[in-house]
Amino acid sequence: MCARARRNVADAGLSDYVDIRAGDGRQTLRDLGAPIDFALIDGWPLASGRSLAREVIEIVAPQLRIGGFVMNDNGEPDYMDYMRSPDNGFLSMTLPIKRGTTLSVKVP
Q: In what order do the strands lie in the sheet with 64-73?
A: 36-41, 64-73, 101-106, 90-95
Task: For residue range 74-101, list pLDDT tens digits in order.
Answer: 788 899 999 999 999 999 999 988 777 9
Q: Output the pLDDT for position 63.
A: 98
∠ CA(15), CA(2), CA(103), 5° rounding?
75
Decide: 25 and 52 in contact? Cβ < 8 Å: yes
Q: How confident is the model at residue 35 (pLDDT cuts 50, 70, 90)?
A: very high
Counting Cβ atoms within 10 Å, is residue 81 exposed (0-12), middle (13-18) or buried (19+)?
exposed
Q: What is the percent of the chain with per-residue pLDDT over 70, rounded to a whole number? A: 100
63-75 average pLDDT score: 93
- CA–CA separation, 49 vs 19, rounded Å? 28
CATH of 35-108, one of 3.40.50.150, 3.40.1800.10, 3.40.190.10, 3.40.50.360: 3.40.50.150
